[in-house]
Structure 1
Amino acid sequence: MGKQENSNDDEDMFVTLSLDDDSEVECRILTIFEAADQDYIALLPLDENGADNAEGKVYIYRYFEDEDGNPSLDNITDDEEYEIVADRFDELLDEEEFEEMD
């Protein structure tokens, strides 16, 4: 579904998503996290200038690697699963904000 590329900044990783309408969007990987014994990835779509999107839109996908370690993404189609994952992502954001305050 996409490929990972290193940027000039060692900390940020990027992926290019191929969307259903045959368009592509460059995204910054925010985090890979676990919820309900499954790994998920949170991606921040970038605007045409390569900056974070102004709306704060985030894409969340199932994340897994094949036996060779190649990453893959899968859509979350179940509403209940999405709610669990979105809640966990919100918790991670809250924890990160709390840690930044220390």
Structure 2
Amino acid sequence: MDEYMTVTLTLDNDEVVECAVLTIFSANGQDYIALLPLDEKGEPQDGDVYLYRYIENDPEDPELENIEDDDEYEAVADAFDEWMDTQDFEDLDEE
């Protein structure tokens, strides 16, 4: 598989997760980032995609913020789903 740009997250339970950056996208005038957890071999895991607010005050050290508001999260998830609909993932299908 292709090499991914990655981000290391420390979750609320202190679990450290390496994630591939799927995309950075805008919704309602704010930037967001979609992250896909990677397994110990660096391969994408099936399942959850993490969505965070993406703030780039310093290009060398962008900030990620949790999305606390349910309405905001729903709008962001819808925007991400729309982005996913535009992508071609045929080569990832193993069925």
Q: Quickly name the TM-score band, shorter chain normalised.
A: 0.7 to 0.9
The runs of at least 4 consecutive aligned structure 1 residues that moved more than 2 Å come to none
Inter-partner Cα distance in structure 2 for 1:77 and 1:71: 19
Counterpart position of 1:91: 82
Q: Which has the higher strand share?
A: 1
User: Could you state the TM-score of these two structures normalised by the residue count of structure 2?
Assistant: 0.83
Counterpart position of 2:42: 50
RMSD over aligned CA atoms reads 2.0
Among 22, 34, 40, the residue aligned to 1:30: 22
What do residues 29-84 of structure 1 show as CA deviations (whole Å, max 9, x unaligned)?
000000000000000001122111122x1000000012x33200000010000010
The runs of 5 or more residues in structure 1 that have no matched partner are 1-7, 98-102
Residue identity opposite 1:87 in structure 2: D
Percent identity, aligned pairs only? 58
What do residues 3-35 of structure 1 show as CA deviations (whole Å, max 9, x unaligned)?
xxxxx83xx200100111222000000000000
The runs of 5 or more residues in structure 2 that have no matched partner are 89-95
Say how many residue pairs are matched.
Answer: 88
User: Could you state the TM-score of these two structures normalised by the residue count of structure 1?
Assistant: 0.78
Residue identity opposite 2:10 in structure 1: S
